[in-house]
């Protein structure tokens, strides 16, 4: 398959601009500029200065922690083990107050069905562009599969080329997402508690009135950058300390935030 067939398509100007942005973007250089050196001492802030810099992307949302609450008060108001899931309480949500994010009601995710309560968005995120670009890239994959299956090649050759094209499509979508500031990732596991926060936000599914109340529920912890393996590792270590992860326990999953195929198809149906 030609390399051109793996790129996003559109008119010549759009294609040229995207290719230029991808070519010029240096992830390593950007990371070095943004990352605080681990050996560099941090400037200490007093409590008054800290309070003036607190943020809450879920301010005013009833099923989320508020800056005016202590964590104990929040967990008393919405205890994860006994709070029932309702249309008014789809999740129990808490945001890291030291990381500025777009308010939930102003985020582009509100226009993406099923993604309204995903990770708080970074300022300048272009979720809509990622959804549209992802859809177009997946359409190219479908056309590629249809074409190669008509070539009469051996089954092993066809399967190998399809896997190669699928991997390239994933890389293309994640690169576009990174450029569009859709960079968060999500750790998912089954648990019954809302842990101390170490990512940018976390949420736990309330108790379903239709299921056994003793059943564990989905817990998600969001990280700021799906390419930052060190940060993901720090969150995992904290989860082990809290005994949310056991050596032979339930599996844990991590995935980037860009829309999955099913989410992209939901976007297409909505249009």
Mean pLDDT of the 215-235 span:
86
Q: At 214, list the tokens.
A: 């003793």
Q: Which of 111, 94, 110 is nearest to 57 (CA)?
A: 94
What pLDDT, in 10s, does the model give residues 148-181? 999 888 999 999 999 999 999 989 999 998 998 8
Q: Are strands 92-95 and 201-204 parallel, antiparallel or unpaired?
A: antiparallel
Q: At 170, list the tokens.
A: 């994933």
Is the pLDDT at 84 greater than 60, yes or no? yes
Question: Which parts of 61-127 are beta strand (E)?
Answer: 92-95
Give the pLDDT score at 8.
44
Evaluate if pTM is beyond 0.75. Answer: no
Q: Which residues of 247-263 are buried (b: 16+ CB within 10 A; e: fewer)?
A: eeeeebebebbbbbeeb
* Cβ contacts of 65 within 8 Å, gap of 6 or more: 56, 58, 71, 74, 93, 94, 95
Q: Return phi, psi of residue 226, to 5°.
A: -70, -15
Is the pLDDT at 71 greater than 80, yes or no? yes
Give the full edge-to-edge strand order of the sheet including 253-256. Answer: 92-95, 201-204, 217-223, 185-191, 253-256
CA distance 178 to 27: 9
Give the pLDDT score at 156.
92
Is the pLDDT at 263 greater than 60, yes or no? no
The structural domains of the chain, with segments of one domain joined by +, span 71-123+183-256, 127-180
* Cβ contacts of 158 within 8 Å, gap of 6 or more: 148, 149, 151
Q: At 201, list the tokens.
A: 């936000």
Q: Which residue has the higher pLDDT, 112 or 52?
A: 112
Contact 94/197 with Cβ under 8 angstroms?
Answer: yes
* Cβ contacts of 63 within 8 Å, gap of 6 or more: 78, 88, 89, 90, 91, 92, 93
Q: Which of 3, 222, 266, 254 is nearest to 99 (CA)?
A: 222
Tell me the three state secondary structure of residue 265: helix
Give the pLDDT score at 267.
40
Give the pLDDT score at 197.
53
Instruction: Return the number of other C-beta atoms located less than 10 Å from residue 182's C-beta.
Output: 28
Give the pLDDT score at 168.
92
Q: Which residue has the higher pLDDT, 32 or 70?
A: 70
CA distance 83 to 208: 9
């Amino acid at each position: 398959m030609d390399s051109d067939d793996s790129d996003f398509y559109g008119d010549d100007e759009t294609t040229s601009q995207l290719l230029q942005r991808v070519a010029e973007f240096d992830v390593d250089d950007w990371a070095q500029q943004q990352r605080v050196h681990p050996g560099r001492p941090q400037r200490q802030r007093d409590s008054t200065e800290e309070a003036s810099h607190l943020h809450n992307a879920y301010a005013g949302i009833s099923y989320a922690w508020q800056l005016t609450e202590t964590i104990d008060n929040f967990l008393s108001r919405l205890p994860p083990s006994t709070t029932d899931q309702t249309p008014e309480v789809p999740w129990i949500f808490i945001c890291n107050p030291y990381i500025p994010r777009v308010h939930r009601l102003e985020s582009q995710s509100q226009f993406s069905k099923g993604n309204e309560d995903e990770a708080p968005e970074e300022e300048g995120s272009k979720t809509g562009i990622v959804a549209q670009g992802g859809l177009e890239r997946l359409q190219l994959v479908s056309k590629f599969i249809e074409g190669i299956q008509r070539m009469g090649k051996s089954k092993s050759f066809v399967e190998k080329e399809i896997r190669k094209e699928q991997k390239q499509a994933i890389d293309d979508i994640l690169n576009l997402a990174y450029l569009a500031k859709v960079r968060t990732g999500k750790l998912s596991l089954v648990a019954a508690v809302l842990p101390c926060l170490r990512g940018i936000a976390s949420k736990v599914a309330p108790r379903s009135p239709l299921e056994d109340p003793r059943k564990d529920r989905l817990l998600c912890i969001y990280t700021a950058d799906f390419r930052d393996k060190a940060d993901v590792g720090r969150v995992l270590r904290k989860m082990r300390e809290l005994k949310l992860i056991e050596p032979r326990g339930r599996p844990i999953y991590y995935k980037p935030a860009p829309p999955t195929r099913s989410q992209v198809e939901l976007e297409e149906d909505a249009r």
